[in-house]
Structures are given as structure tokens and as C-alpha cells.
Amino acid sequence: MNKRPIHGGNLLSVSEQYKINADNWIDLSTGLNPNAFPVSAIPMEIFTKLPYDNPDFIESAMDYYGQENLLALNGTQDAIQALPNILAPHPVLLPEVGYQEHLHGWQLRGNDISLYPSWDMSAAIEVIDAWIEKNPQGHVVVINPNNPTGLMFPVEVLHKWARNMAQGSYLIVDEAFMDLTPEGSLLCHELNDRVIVLRSFGKFFGLAGLRLGFAFGNQDILNALKDRQGLWAVNGPAKYVATQAFKNEAWQITARAQIQLLAKKNQWLFTRLFSELNVNRKSTQGLFTSYWLPTIQAQALYDYFCSQGILLRLITLNETQAVIRIGLLDMSNAQHLAKLNDTIDQYLNHRKY
């Protein structure tokens, strides 16, 4: 059986490992907006009534995403797990580096799997072009922008791939981190019949605990996904809060600007560390920044920060290369800011690698 991938934000397991209480960590391991959409008081009846279909919720989601053919999910994880079981058992091409639940799902299903280099645009395009030409009956998974590499394919390239795929084959585009650059989304265009788009609610709105996401695609695919969901797969409070968030365009505009500013400030914070470590490759998405390091150095850095109660995300690419992905620190927390600066100083004074 395949082992489930490890994810950011799992404070409980690291707090046991490093013997630091879960409440005392600075968690930079996720790609969530630290200034979440403010949830106001939720009426009691939202909790007491069953969450039947609610036109206000669906219409506000259609307006926000600009597409009508959608299905609400209990997080896009729902669809990521379901799609390998719904789609024809064709070969599948996946990103070598990216949210590992995709790979995990297809491995469980037993499809013939190939990987493309998801950190280099021209190499990735070359491999995907050639693979589709050889396997028109095959599915391709794209994470756009990629988490953690930040690689983002232009929509024209995605359209070309979808056009070259045979009937019954699908281009699955996971746009979990697209809210900062909505103009780069496939949802701005008419959706090709062979395209499935996934959008996660929790990251940009900073409300991962609500568990909400959306799938977009042809009606057959949405029906198949719906059939696999239980009744009331999306809970009432999630629908209530998301309806408010989708309608609040002013919050969305401000949040986009704030996230980009915060991302710049966060990068300044780490500039000294990574320049002293001679790190010359980084990729920024806004909600996280990824730094490429030799594996041994990345592991030492990750471990030292953990020993100080600061959780980063370590993604080991191979024996020689790894990525440290860092989410956004909320700079208004002076205590956290001071602790992070001290930890960077101490690391630079004591590092072995």
C-alpha cells in the first residue's frame, strides 16, 4: 500500500517529535493567507438546518469563478481522490514535484504513471507535448501555479494540450493557488470538454478548516463526482461563510494587494539567511516562497528551525536537491517576528552546512 504524503500544517506530529507544545509553534509550513476572511457571527439556524442546495451560495460561487458548470466539494481533496476512480484507466502524466495527493491517488488506482519536470517551464512543455502526442488516450495533471515550484503554464499552452487529447482523456488543472492571479485561470475562458479545473477555497481566503473547494468540467464529470459524494458533502457554515466571502469584492481586492506586500516583506526577512547560504534559486507565488538548496543543507535548516519551534516545509527532490517552502508570517505579531529574526541569527552563527 502507498504511504500517504506528509502535508504542511500537521503541527501535532512535529510537536511530538521535537517535544514542543503544538500551541508554541510558528507555523510557516502552509500556503494559507494569514489574514483570513473575517468570519462574522453565524446564525444558529445555519447549524441547526440541513445544508440543502442554496441558490445564493451557488450563484455567488458562479460569479466569483466566472463559470456556471461547477460542483461544490468538501475541499478539492475530495475530487483529487475521486478522479482516478471515475476516469478511464488510461496512462497518466503527473508533475514530478507538486501536491503529492495527485500522485498518491493515481498510484492507488494503479494507472500507468509518467512524470514531467515541474520546475522547468521549457523542459516541462517539451515532455508534456511529446507525451500527449504519444498518448492521446491519456490524462495529464497540471498544478497551476505549481505548489511548491511556482511553475505556471500559460492558458494557450493548456488549451493546446486539451485540444490534442482524445475523447475520454482529461487535462486536470489544479488551480488551488490561482486566486492571486485570476486572469491566469482557465475559468476566464470557455472550458474545453476535456478539461477539469479544481479550485480550493481555503488558501486565498485563509479558511482551510472550513473544507471547501470546487470542480469545473463537463456535466458527465460533475455528475460522476456528485454521485461519489455523500449527501450534504458541504456543510452549512462553509456555504454561509463562502457566500459572504465571494460577494465581498472589496475584501478580495485588498487581500490580493496585502498578500503580495506581505510576501515581499517575508522575503526580505529571509534575504540574509539565503544569501549567506548561497541560495540562488527561488520561486515566489505570493502565499509561499520556495528556495532550492542542497538536500543536506535543507534538512539541517529545517531541523534547526523545528528545534526552535518554527515549522518550515521541506520537500526533498532527490539525494542532492531539496526545496524549503516558507509560508507567510503575519508581521503584526512582534513576538513571532523577533523569534524568527533571532533564529535566523543563531542558525547563521552555528550552522554546519
Ligand X SMILES: Cc1ncc(COP(=O)(O)O)c(C=O)c1O
Q: Minimum CB separation from ligand X for residue 278, in Å? A: 28
Which residues 6+ apart lie within 8 Å of 131 measured at CB?
A: 93, 114, 116, 138, 140
Q: Using CB under 6 A, which residues numbered 305 to 344 contact ligand X?
A: none
Residue tagged 461563510 (cell numbers): 241
Quote the cell numbers at residue 217.
468540467
Nearest to 102 by CA among 151, 144, 69, 154: 144
Count of residues of this chain found to bind ligand X when the rule CB under 6 A is applied = 12
| Identity of the residue, 27 or 174, whose beta carbon is nearer to ligand X in the bound complex | 174
Binder to ligand X among 72, 103, 143, 215 (CB under 6 A)? 143
Binder to ligand X among 15, 118, 147, 149 (CB under 6 A)? 147
Kindly report the number of other CB atoms within 10 A of residue 144's CB atom. 25
Rounded to whole angstroms, the Cα distance separating 177 from 180 reads 7
Sign of the Cα pseudo-torsion (129, 135, 141, 147, in order): negative
Q: Using CB under 6 A, which residues numbered 63 to 122 contact ligand X?
A: 75-77, 99
Rounded to whole angstroms, the Cα distance separating 98 from 143 reads 7
| Identity of the residue, 202 or 344, whose beta carbon is nearer to ligand X in the bound complex | 202
| Identity of the residue, 148 or 343, whose beta carbon is nearer to ligand X in the bound complex | 148
Q: Using CB under 6 A, which residues numbered 175 to 194 contact ligand X?
A: 176
Q: Minimum CB separation from ligand X for residue 11, in Å? A: 15
CA distances from 175 to 143, 312, 328 (A): 6, 23, 19
Q: Using CB under 6 A, which residues numbered 23 to 52 contact ligand X?
A: none
Q: Is 173 in the site for ligand X (CB under 6 A)?
A: no
Q: Which range, of 200-208, 262-270, 283-291, 341-349, touches ligand X by CB under 6 A?
A: 200-208
Q: Which residues bind ligand X (CB under 6 A)?
A: 75-77, 99, 143, 147, 174, 176, 200, 202, 208, 213
